[in-house]
Amino acid sequence: MRIIIIGSVAAGTSVAAKARRNSEECEIVIYERDRDISYSACGLPYYIGQKGIERSDLTPRDACWFKKRFNMDVRTGYEVLTIDPSKKSIEVKDHHTGEIFEDFYDKLVIATGAKPINPDITGVDNNNVFTVRNIESADKIIGYIAKTFPKKAVIIGGGYIGLELLENLVKLGIDVVLIEREKSLAGKLDRDISIYLEEYLKDKKVKFLLGEEVSEITEKKVITKSGKSIEADFVVSCTGVRPNSKLAKEIGIETFDNGAIKINHKLETSMEDIYAVGDVAMSWSIIDGAPMYVPLGSTANKMGRICGDVLTGGALRFKGILGTGIFQVFDMAVAQTGMTEAQAKNKGYDIEVIHNLKPNQTEYFEESREMVIKAIADRKSAKILGVQIVGARGVDKRIDVFVSLISMGATVDQLFHLDLAYAPPFSTTKDPVMYTGMILSNAINGKNKIITPEELIKERDDYIVIDVRSPKQYGIGHIPGAVNIPLEKLRNKAKALPNSEKYVVHCNKGVSGNAAQNIMLNMGFDCYNLSGGYKNFKIYTQLSK
């Protein structure tokens, strides 16, 4: 059997490696248009930031290595021009010589990845405008910085890559402005979580513009559609990617509206003996099976391994994704998995939403830092639908626990019963994951109802709000119209409150609010606890400013 693979970054080489591990009988050929193969594209912002990362660190394996280790033919500088499924052939151009020739396959794998979206901006093709597509594109940015010593830069796009690049350019001493056309950073997050990131960056004196679109790039300036002019010696466009599926479309392989190739559990396309893996292919949600395009190296490697197994008669099958992602900007880590609140609502779920503010470890450790966990669950099934976390430490550990649970269809009450590792340097006695389960369980079963800041603002006239913090804390800042009854006085003061009203109690983060809610409930009141307390409410009110 002759396997031809088009593309050799993450998915393509994973296909080849797994196929060879399974079988010595198949012939494996990889065609790659670029020079570099099997490289870490996710490390490019840090390579540009010159954090001691050498080019060789991102490209640890070349064509010779794959030939020696796996006995496969990796041809770099070769571009596949067309596919002819009737002849099971491809037309290839050798960019070293200009020769065009034909090759034949038994099984063909399309692993052509994704390409940057080229924004419709005047001047986007200028010599001082760059993208972050591959190592060669990163080399161009590094070379430009070394040659011209730029003082000012603009990044277009506030997604993962744009934010990671922002940090690395700032640390090089460059004055950076990030411009994002949407009204929030990291668009995969709900707005009430992205605001935590934005407030953090403001505290770091990082410059960014939201709700702005670039209309023109000149040699020394970037001009927005609203008329703002920002000085810039160079510009990096990080406006996202789209599937590089031109070859597939030309032969009628089924694709989605965004160009991603439709595949099944065996990574097969709609055309016999042709497979697709990595960023060129559409995934689907583990939760509900809906199409899901989240181009990540982790998914590409997974797809590649499964495809290599399928090609050689193995039993592995692709099960979908949750769209799990994580990135770091300076000391702030941001992670998410599963559905956002907005997505869950759009899909018609009756959801419970909570905000859990907890330290990553015992607070008497100096390095202890707070994290914010937003969790979304389905009230009907009590299953967790999605989680978003922001914080300085321990974010990766918690998001991976949630990923495992959602993947297995766990319900919220199972979170509390997890036997998680505990010692003061690593966690709190009840881990933030367990607390999240406690809050969700109590809310869903109706024992301790939660109200979000958004809901309280919309229904403010329906509730009497009781602030159970100290008078000093209340005086510094409070919810308009809230009554201050410190927790230690609540039992006596509550006796004089009308039983016919609905109440919302809150503290600063939620714990004392929960204690106050229990007092009120035990006295027969209809009472809600404010999700995330006053701190979360205050952050949320920034959204309207």
Residues 202 and 173 in one domain: yes
Residues 353 and 365 in one domain: yes
Residues 14 and 162 in one domain: no
Residues 138 and 225 in one domain: yes
End-to-end CA, the chain = 63
Which of 156, 129, 323, 299 minimizes the C-alpha distance to 240? Answer: 156
Which of 309, 227, 298, 225 minimizes the C-alpha distance to 267? Answer: 309
**432-444 and 395-407 helices, crossing angle to 10°:** 50
Residues 527 and 473 in one domain: yes
Number of independent structural domains in the chain: 4
Asked whether residue 321 is domain-assigned, the answer is no
Asked whether residue 325 is domain-assigned, the answer is no
The CATH number of the domain holding residue 518 is: 3.40.250.10
| 393 within 8 A of 369, measured Cβ to Cβ | yes
pLDDT digits over 14-23, tens only? 999 999 999 9
Give backbone dihedrals phi and psi of 360, rounded to 5 degrees, phi first: -75, -20
Asked whether residue 92 is domain-assigned, the answer is yes
The first and second tokens of residue 206, run together, are: 């990082």
Distance in angstroms (rounded) separating the CA atoms of residues 18 and 540: 48
Which of 136, 26, 140 minimizes the C-alpha distance to 77? Answer: 136
**11-22 and 63-70 helices, crossing angle to 10°:** 20
Residues 340 and 361 in one domain: yes
Distance in angstroms (rounded) separating the CA atoms of residues 195 and 343: 18
- Collect all residues with Cβ–Cβ distance below 8 Å to 230 and sequence separation of at least 6: 154, 177, 179, 209, 221, 222, 223, 224
The first and second tokens of residue 197, run together, are: 């990131």
The CATH number of the domain holding residue 394 is: 3.30.390.30
CA contacts within 13 A on the Cβ side of 330: 13
Residues 107 and 140 in one domain: no
Distance in angstroms (rounded) separating the CA atoms of residues 246 and 240: 18
Q: What is the DSSP letter of 321?
A: B
- Collect all residues with Cβ–Cβ distance below 8 Å to 453 and sequence separation of at least 6: 192, 530, 531, 532, 536, 537, 540, 541
Asked whether residue 139 is domain-assigned, the answer is yes
Catalytic residue among 42, 307, 507, 527: 42
Residues 489 and 347 in one domain: no
Which of 196, 193, 194 minimizes the C-alpha distance to 211? Answer: 194
Q: What is the CA radius of gyration of the chain?
A: 27
Distance in angstroms (rounded) separating the CA atoms of residues 515 and 508: 12
Length of the chain: 545
Tokens 């307390």 belong to 533
Residues 535 and 469 in one domain: yes
Domain boundary among 445, 477, 504: 445
Asked whether residue 122 is domain-assigned, the answer is no
| 267 within 8 A of 309, measured Cβ to Cβ | no
Q: Cα torsion for 187, 286, 378, 183, to the nearest 10°?
A: 10
What's the Cα-to-Cα distance from 274 to each of 14, 30, 101, 294, rounded to whole Å? 16, 14, 20, 22
Asked whether residue 326 is domain-assigned, the answer is no
Distance in angstroms (rounded) separating the CA atoms of residues 400 and 398: 5
Tokens 């983060």 belong to 509
Residues 106 and 250 in one domain: yes
Distance in angstroms (rounded) separating the CA atoms of residues 128 and 25: 49
Asked whether residue 427 is domain-assigned, the answer is yes
Distance in angstroms (rounded) separating the CA atoms of residues 335 and 352: 20
SS3 21: helix
Asked whether residue 504 is domain-assigned, the answer is yes
Residues 171 and 136 in one domain: yes
Domain boundary among 179, 204, 239: 239
Tokens 């592995």 belong to 316
CB atoms within 10 A of CB 515: 16
The CATH number of the domain holding residue 71 is: 3.50.50.60
Residues 462 and 517 in one domain: yes
Q: Tens digit of pLDDT per residue, the chain (545 long)?
A: 999 999 998 899 999 999 999 999 999 999 999 888 888 788 999 999 987 888 888 887 887 888 889 899 999 999 999 999 999 999 999 999 999 999 999 999 999 999 999 899 999 999 999 999 889 999 999 999 999 999 999 999 999 999 999 999 999 999 999 999 999 999 889 999 999 999 999 999 999 999 999 999 999 999 999 999 999 999 999 999 999 999 999 999 999 999 999 999 999 999 999 999 999 999 999 999 999 999 999 999 999 999 999 999 999 999 999 999 999 999 999 999 999 999 999 999 999 999 999 888 777 777 788 999 999 999 999 999 999 999 999 999 999 999 999 999 999 999 999 999 999 999 889 999 999 999 999 999 988 999 999 999 999 999 999 999 999 999 999 999 999 999 999 999 999 999 999 999 999 999 999 999 999 999 999 999 999 999 999 988 877 56
β 370-378/483-484 pair status: unpaired
For the question of residue 42 being annotated catalytic, the response is: yes
Measured in whole angstroms, how far is the alpha carbon of residue 378 from the centre of its chain? 21
Domain boundary among 385, 412, 445: 445
Determine the structural domain holding residue 282 and report its residue range. 2-40+49-114+242-312
